[in-house]
Amino acid sequence: MASVEFRDVTKRFGAVAAVDGISLTVERGELFFLLGPSGCGKTTALRMLAGFVEPDEGTILFDGRDVSRLPAHRRNVGMVFQTYALFPHMTVERNVEYGLRFRKTAAAERAARVAEALERTRLSGLGPRYPSELSGGQQQRVALARALAIQPEVLLLDEPLSNLDTKLRVEVREEIKRIHQEFKITAVYVTHDQDEALSLADRMAIMRNGRIEQAGTPAEIYAKPRNEFVAGFVGETNLLDGTAEPRGGAFGYATAAGWVPAQCEASRAIARISLRPECVRLGAPEGAPARGVVRRVSFFGGSVRVEVELENGATLSSVSLGADARLTWREGDAAGVYAEADNAVVLE
Amino acid sequence: MRSSSNERPGPGAFAAVAAIAAFFALFLFYPLVYVFNKSFIVNGRPTLEFFELLFKSPALRESIGNSLMIAAAVTLLSAALGLAFAWLLSRTDLPAKGLWSNLLLFPLILPPFVGAIGIRYVFGRFGMINILLMKAGIISEMNPIDWLGSPFWGVVILETLHLFPIMLLNISGSFALMDPSLEDAARSLGARGAALFRTVTAPLLMPGFFAGASIVFIWAMTDLGTPLLFEYRAVAPVQIFNAVQATQENALGYALVVAVLLITAAFFMLSKFVFARRRLDMPAFGRSAGRLVRLGLPGKVAVCAALAVFVLIALIPHVSVVLVSFSEKWFMSALPQEWTLDYYGKVFTHPMSYNSVKNSLALSGLAVIVTMAAGGTIAYLLARKKFKGQGILDACAMLPLAVPGVVLAFGYVQGFFGTSLDPRVNPVPLLVIGYAVRRLPLVVRALYAGFQQTGAALEEASASLGAGPAPTLRFITLPLIRANMLGAAILAFAFSMLEVSDSLILAMEEKFFPMTKAIYMLMARLGDGGMIASAMGVLGALLLAAALAAAQKLLGKKMGDLFRA
């Protein structure tokens, strides 16, 4: 198990910087997520860790050792590929054993480690099968078992769930969490799916255009997105325009949904404010800090989202748990908007 | 955006590129440049003398004209047959499609010049047809019909019967790639019948159509064996063949070779870059099975009957060669009077034929090694590395499709005159290289397809598990493309055994004769020459049939791609 560090790493393909000067540390044993839209550079960053891509600038360190120029087969990195990349001409056992062949592991120990890896990924009994005889979820676990069998310093996962259907995805997600905790391994996981990242990550980094927009725990990033991109990419949000307006000695911004305090003395006269839908409550219009008209009510089973058109024309979403909101609100109703102003975030 | 560090060519890849470049320079470009030079530069001065000659000499004008007409006729006939058969096999509810498809591809196994041997026994003045007609009292013995009076049509028919399967493979491939929902969409928008075909179906078939047509055109225009056996001398390839035989350096030979090369290159470019330029790849998701045209019972009966008649006609050359090879005595009768297996024995006892079989086995075996090594390297560089000049490498590997065999063989004879590779002294090295170069496009295609199917992710997975480049090649890449390698090697071997232009032109002494040259020389001999030649032809055809069947198994649907330009 090793810590992983990117230090000012840049990789260009032609004129385009796929990864543009990123610095980042993944602690030992951490399950770290690189999250971003396609083309943001997250996969290139992962492939640099694997050794498939060499950085043009900067260094990549495992436990402080510079591995930037080390070829893939000398890195002791386990990787789970998006397509699984199981060797179709080998049985499950042979696939899992493959990496041990290059580690001068004695035959008896090899067999034991293969059996262990299969057991811990709940694949016991499937050893003699070929990959084509397995379901998608089983193939996924073989890929995981194969990567883990070599006891890698770092485990890399490249969108490992993208080829599974929605139900299986949630199952395998939990499986990965369990396996990570059991193996206590440093893991870097690439995805564009925020649910995966929010539910699994110890920490995560949001990438865009080859740069890291923000890094932190899922809760930190969700609660305090640094900018409009992060606020919009991780979770759903309402973006409001605010004008600087000190109130009662405190600094803050006036918005269509009410006054929002700012943490620090921001010098900007106007700012964008992020307000999560669950921080917007609807109530009686009388005496409300802001008012609007219900335009749309969407039911999601466990929650209901109500869109309200404010008096200034902006639309605000409010999400509440339970079905009662659906019963309460109808399109065209006048509603009072009560924002939890303390939970609003002034964006950079 | 994905690119791996091992895509960047290391020193090994540079060495490989350099070796391949040297190979192309020496054995593909040098002979062509030499021929160009010789025809444009005389006594150190640029000149167009030879080309004036080309236009002034009626004999040469005629031979180019004849070759162009043969090529045009063969291409049109093959295209019409290929389109009709491909439509029947892909878009109708024709019964027994597998059987028809095999029967229609069968003619590919017999080189047309071998078929020509049999044809002479069937359509000769006292061949099977005339004898039958005489016995029926339709014609008199004094005045037999001269079926082969026009060697032009003899060549056209034999070559068409041999080459239409290439059109069939290519057009069928296009039909298979076409998403039937496109036609359904056009129908829902109101297109029907001819309008549907013209506006949607035909444009989508174009790339496959022209890929096949350019191969057929070039093959037909420059086929040496068939006109030679019909003693049809007024065609360009035979003229080139004669120019090589001539002891004195023949100025006209050069001009003719350059003219042929320019025509074939122009046609190849035209079809590749104008007609087939746009790749009409269609997304493969949600593909429906497509609606089949119902022929109805009378339609099915009529189509099957017509196909049966066609297959019988197409097999006449094959059947007749087989008959000749088994005939002890066949004179003035519809069928041989006496049968024998002797000539198959003689293939292995007659010094010329036995020697030629041994030569061909050795030459083809060596050629396979050379072409697999070169083709494998090229396919790997194209599929797995990224560097400037890949397009050029790809184009070079495909160039032998556009450069006729007679042209290259002519260039070898003239360009390597007096060197240690001079085929007049020992043709073995250039025969091996010539065979290898001619099969290079096929090998590169088959192996490239293998690398594509395997995908780089498996090799990366292997690397991430600790396997270096050599073990990855051994345990992952090679086992996974084994079928493609085997298929390509088998086909390259079989086609080399039956290669005509290089064999006829480069092997000048009997001890170096490969099978095809021995067949040609034996044909010219009286007595049992024709029968031994036929027996050799049948053995060659059996070998090619077995090779194609094996390759079809190994390469699966990719096989049609090997016969594309």
The DSSP code sequence of B455-518 is -HHHHHHHHHTT--HHHHIIIIIHHHTHHHHHHHHHHHHHHHHT--HHHHHH--SGGG--HHHH
Give the lowest-confidence range in A25-34, B103-112, B180-189, B309-318.
B180-189
CB atoms closer than 10 angstroms to residue A286? 8
What distance in Å separates residue B285's CA from the closest CA in chain A? 15
What number is the average pLDDT over the span B456-464?
Answer: 91
More confident residue, A12 or B130: A12
**pLDDT level of residue A220 (50, 70, 90 thresholds):** very high
Q: Which residues of chain B have a Cβ shorter than 8 Å from any chain A Cβ?
A: 1-6, 8, 455, 457-458, 460-469, 471-472, 475-476, 479-480
pLDDT given for residue B5 in this prediction:
43
What number is the average pLDDT over the span B4-10?
Answer: 57
What number is the average pLDDT over the span A173-198?
Answer: 90
Question: Distances in Å between the alpha carbon of B113 and those of A209, B60, B183, B318, B467?
Answer: 63, 23, 41, 11, 51
Distance separating the N- and C-terminal Cα atoms of chain B: 30
> C-alpha angle B3/B6/B8, rounded to 5°?
75
CB atoms closer than 10 angstroms to residue B264? 22
**pLDDT level of residue B283 (50, 70, 90 thresholds):** very low
Give the bridge partners for A316, in sequence order: A308
Q: Is the pLDDT of residue B4 over 50?
A: no
Beta-carbon contacts of B146 under 8 Å, excluding residues fewer than 6 positions away, are B125
**Are B466 and A150 a contacting pair at CB < 8 A?**
yes
Tens of pLDDT, residue by residue over B305-344, are 999 999 988 888 888 888 888 887 776 677 777 788 888 8
| Shortest CA distance from A42: residue in chain B | B1
What number is the average pLDDT over the span B241-265?
Answer: 80
pLDDT given for residue B288 in this prediction:
47
**Are A16 and B458 a contacting pair at CB < 8 A?**
no
pLDDT above 70 covers a percentage of chain B that reads 92
Burial of B372 from C-beta contacts in 10 A (0-12 / 13-18 / 19+): buried
What distance in Å separates residue A78's CA from the closest CA in chain B? 6
A37 touches chain B (CB under 8 A): no
In what side-by-side order are the strands of the sheet with A186-191?
A: A77-80, A154-158, A186-191, A31-35, A203-208, A211-216
Residue indicated by tokens 């080399």: B496
Give the lowest-confidence range in A222-226, A328-332, B77-81, B179-183.
B179-183
Radius of gyration of chain B (CA): 25
Counting DSSP H helices and E strands in chain A, the numbers are 9, 20
Distance CA B131, CA B145 (A): 10
**Are B464 and A75 a contacting pair at CB < 8 A?**
yes
What distance in Å separates residue A69's CA from the closest CA in chain B? 10
Answer yes or no: are the C-beta atoms of A288 and A336 closer than 8 Å: yes
What number is the average pLDDT over the span B540-553?
Answer: 84
**Are A73 and B476 a contacting pair at CB < 8 A?**
no
A31 phi and psi angles, rounded to 5 deg: -100, 105
According to DSSP, the β-strands at A154-158 and A77-80 are parallel
Tokens at B339, concatenated: 């049968």
**pLDDT level of residue A20 (50, 70, 90 thresholds):** very high
What distance in Å separates residue B2's CA from the closest CA in chain A? 7
**Are A51 and B5 a contacting pair at CB < 8 A?**
yes
Answer yes or no: are the C-beta atoms of A241 and A275 closer than 8 Å: no
pLDDT given for residue A247 in this prediction:
82
Q: Is the pLDDT of residue A306 over 80?
A: yes
DSSP-based helix, strand, coil % in chain A, nearest 5 = 30, 35, 35
A72 touches chain B (CB under 8 A): yes
Q: At what angle do helices B351-384 and B428-454 cross, to 10 degrees?
A: 40
Q: Is the pLDDT of residue B205 over 90?
A: no
Mean pLDDT, chain B, as a whole number? 84
**pLDDT level of residue B174 (50, 70, 90 thresholds):** confident
Tens of pLDDT, residue by residue over B357-395, are 999 999 999 999 999 999 999 999 988 888 888 888 988
| Shortest CA distance from A103: residue in chain B | B466
**pLDDT level of residue B48 (50, 70, 90 thresholds):** confident
**Are B466 and A103 a contacting pair at CB < 8 A?**
yes
- With H, G, I as helix, E, B as strand and everything else as coil, classify residue A22: strand
Boundaries of every domain in chain B: 76-231+267-279+297-332, 341-565
Tokens at B493, concatenated: 């071997």
Give the residue from B517, B365, B501, B378 showing the smallest Cα distance to B436: B365
Tokens at B309, concatenated: 């008649």
Q: Is the pLDDT of residue B278 over 70?
A: no
Distance CA A278, CA A305 (A): 9
Burial of B288 from C-beta contacts in 10 A (0-12 / 13-18 / 19+): exposed
What distance in Å separates residue A259's CA from the closest CA in chain B? 44
Distance CA B267, CA B374 (A): 27
Distance separating the N- and C-terminal Cα atoms of chain A: 37
Class of domain A4-223: alpha beta
**Are B1 and A18 a contacting pair at CB < 8 A?**
yes
A176 touches chain B (CB under 8 A): no
Compute the half-sphere exposure of residue B504: CA atoms within 13 Å on the CB side of its CA.
Answer: 28
pLDDT given for residue B308 in this prediction:
94
Answer yes or no: are the C-beta atoms of B160 and B77 closer than 8 Å: yes
Distance CA B221, CA B259 (A): 12
| Shortest CA distance from B458: residue in chain A | A85
Given this chain, do its domains A4-223 and A236-346 carry the same CATH topology? no
A303 phi and psi angles, rounded to 5 deg: -140, 165
pLDDT above 90 covers a percentage of chain B that reads 24
A141 touches chain B (CB under 8 A): no
Question: Distances in Å between the alpha carbon of B356 and those of B359, B511, B540?
Answer: 5, 8, 12
| Shortest CA distance from B480: residue in chain A | A89
Tokens at B428, concatenated: 């073995």
Tens of pLDDT, residue by residue over B388-413, are 888 889 888 988 888 888 899 999 99
B175 phi and psi angles, rounded to 5 deg: -60, -40
Fold of B76-231+267-279+297-332: MetI-like fold (1.10.3720)
Tens of pLDDT, residue by residue over A190-210, are 999 988 999 999 999 999 999
E strands of A14-162, at which residues?
16-26, 31-35, 57-62, 65-66, 77-80, 154-158
**Are B457 and A147 a contacting pair at CB < 8 A?**
no
Contacts of A85 in chain B (CB under 8 A): 455, 457-458, 460-461
A148 touches chain B (CB under 8 A): no
Boundaries of every domain in chain A: 4-223, 236-346
Class of domain B341-565: mainly alpha
DSSP annotation string for A204-253: EEEEETTEEEEEE-HHHHHHS-SSHHHHHHSS--EEEEEEE--BTTB-EE
A140 touches chain B (CB under 8 A): no
Given this chain, do its domains B76-231+267-279+297-332 and B341-565 carry the same CATH topology? yes
Give the lowest-confidence range in B308-322, B347-361, B521-535.
B521-535
Hey, CA dihedral for A85, A89, A95, A97, is it positive or negative? negative
A53 touches chain B (CB under 8 A): yes
Contacts of B475 in chain A (CB under 8 A): 98
What distance in Å separates residue B461's CA from the closest CA in chain A? 6
pLDDT given for residue B286 in this prediction:
42
What number is the average pLDDT over the span B146-157?
Answer: 83
Contacts of A73 in chain B (CB under 8 A): 462-469, 472
**Are A88 and B460 a contacting pair at CB < 8 A?**
no
One CATH from 3.30.300.30, 2.40.50.100, 2.40.100.20, 1.10.10.10 for A236-346: 2.40.50.100
pLDDT given for residue B9 in this prediction:
65
Answer yes or no: are the C-beta atoms of A6 and A211 closer than 8 Å: no
What number is the average pLDDT over the span B484-506?
Answer: 88
Question: Distances in Å between the alpha carbon of A345 and those of A158, A231, A237, A252, A272?
Answer: 32, 9, 10, 11, 9
H or E stretch including B42?
strand B41-42
More confident residue, A94 or B41: A94
